[in-house]
Chains A and B, each alone.
Chain A
């Protein structure tokens, strides 16, 4: 592990359909054999807190990229305006998300110090999308941080692009780490238990942790939902998980 990152920069890469989209890239200072992490932002968008998480992965010894999932609707706009525009347009379609993660992963694999091993991690809506990506692409690890509506039926009025993902579970391509809050409603503990059962039935490697005194968004240091104890334990679990699955020896 190094506290240093070589650099952070905005890069442009080919996402779904070959569209050129931007991403925030933080690269490790390590010269070689570096794993890659695709960081999926939450619904409020490609914001500073998600970029901070992306930088943290670089300090942990990985190359990390946060694709701007809202770039097409609002190139150059502030993250909150972009998020509002995407919401007004109906949200990020699932198939487009998968293509964008695929492109982000390819960009990480192309970096000179890459070892070719890729994880995806997402928070909130990004947690659901991380699971979707891991069931749709060949990856080495995935982390779902309190992604809602992976198993539960969406409420009335839900955008058509978002539907339960449990039918995809047999296609999960990699080990899954799930980090959840006991006080969350989406996903509530019963939803987490259901996903656990589905993955166990499918014979898929997974490791779930549900933290007491934590609700939705407990990793968000800039929100009232931040729960320090859960977040610190969660970060330690992520570090150990990525060390097992992204490191080549």
Chain B
């Protein structure tokens, strides 16, 4: 199915896309059909800079299991790095 449901958030940081580095302003997180991964659904993240056009995008498609591992790894890295 197309789940349609999308989490949107504002982000601060940078990403490296097809044309090099650019400043990120937005992100979309959703569980839906992938473009490239051989799976029916994946956890997809688009890091975006809409002001720079639709091609200013860094995209990943992850299996549900690895997406959860990533989420946990992000939290762990932040806790280790910031001590919080």
CB < 8 Å neighbour of B2 from A42, A80, A82, A88: A42
Give the residues from 1 to 49 in chain B that come closer than 8 angstroms, CB to CB, to chain A: 1-8, 26, 28, 30, 32-35, 38-40, 46, 48
Q: At the interface, yes or no: A125 with Cβ under 8 Å from chain B?
A: yes
Residues of chain A lying within 8 A (CB to CB) of residue B3: 155, 186
Q: Identify which of B1, B8, B40, B57 contacts A224 (C-beta below 8 A).
A: B40
Residues 157-192 of A at the B interface (beta carbon under 8 Å): 157-159, 162, 184-187
Interface of B toward A, CB cutoff 8 Å: 1-8, 26, 28, 30, 32-35, 38-40, 46, 48, 50, 53-55, 57, 59
Q: Let me know if A203 is at the binding interface, CB within 8 A.
A: no
Are B46 and A148 in contact, CB atoms less than 8 angstroms apart?
no
A-B contact pairs, 12 of them (CB 8 A): A43-B4, A44-B33, A44-B35, A77-B54, A78-B55, A87-B30, A88-B50, A124-B1, A154-B4, A155-B5, A162-B4, A223-B33
- Chain A: interface size category: 35 or more
Chain B residues with CB under 8 A of A157: 5-7
Whether A225 sits at the interface, judged by CB under 8 Å, is: yes
Query: Taking the complex as formed, is A149 at the interface, i.e. its CB lies under 8 A from any CB of chain B?
Result: yes
Task: Indicate whether A216 reaches chain B with its CB closer than 8 angstroms.
Answer: yes
Q: Which residue of A77, A80, A149, A159 is within 8 Å of B53 (Cβ)?
A: A77
Cα A82 to Cα B56 in complex, Å, equals 11
Given that A44-B33, A87-B28, A88-B48 are known contacts, is A125 also in contact with B54, CB under 8 Å in the complex?
no
Q: Which residues of A contact B (CB under 8 A)?
A: 42-44, 47, 73-74, 77-78, 80-85, 87-88, 91, 124-125, 146, 148-149, 154-155, 157-159, 162, 184-187, 215-217, 223-225
CB <8 Å contact, A81 and B57: yes
Closest to A159 in B: B4
A80: min CB distance to chain B, Å: 5
B63 to chain A, nearest CB (A): 12
How many angstroms between the C-alpha atoms of A195 and B3 in the bound complex? 19
CB contacts (< 8 Å) of A84 on chain B: these are 28, 46, 48, 54, 57, 59
Contact of A185 among B1, B7, B46 (CB under 8 A): B1
